[in-house]
Amino acid sequence: MMRPLFSTAVVLLSLCLAREDLAAGGTLETPSISVATASGRNGAEWVTVLADKRFKFIVGDFVNATTNLYYAGDTESLNSFLSNLVTVEGTVIHVSFSKESKDAASDFGSDEKHSGPCQWQIQHLGREPEVFYVTVFLGDGKIDITKLNLPLIRSAKTRSTDVKRADPKPTASATDAQKP
């Protein structure tokens, strides 16, 4: 009876002590992202856009390779931000909208200077460095959705052999085949 209880206590104590080794996280006072080494990408071009002083960065946080960045601004600022972000080769942007207002603060705590109302949030996963998930908060009215210019949305690339084009006009032989 005592042995299983002791073993359980040792395992729980080990997990508690190793907690810091299981996950790393913290507050970001300047924009930053993780980029998986295996991706072969360098995050410098994206960070140049994310840290551009024209866009009001409030605060960010990270847990392992997952990053959340919060920005304040109006429709014009968001349009410019998205336009600049998509210029980095290979960038994929997923946009979603929330009717809510959002007050940004790091999950790990942040001072007054690094908290406040935000109009968009970026979520980034280091294992997919080219993908950015953007949530636009519409609740405070600073973003006018009717004036929002989203980047061009493209379908996934297909090989030309995968695409079957419809013939706009039937050929003579096809027309002849339909005659009785």
At position 176, the amino acid (one-letter code) is D
Residue 21: per-residue pLDDT? 52
Q: What is the pLDDT of residues 5-56, one digit of tens each?
A: 545 544 444 444 444 456 799 999 999 999 998 888 889 999 999 999 999 9
How far is the C-alpha of 24 from the C-alpha of 19, rounded, in Å? 9
Q: Which of 68, 3, 6, 2 is closest to 31 using CA atoms?
A: 68
Residue 4: per-residue pLDDT? 56
Burial-class residue 19 by CB neighbours within 10 Å (0-12, 13-18, 19+): exposed
| C-alpha distance across the termini of the chain, in Å | 92
Q: What is the pTM of this model?
A: 0.73
Q: Give me the mean pLDDT over the 121-147 stretch.
A: 96
Give residue 165's pLDDT band: very low, low, confident or very high (50, 70, 90). Answer: very low
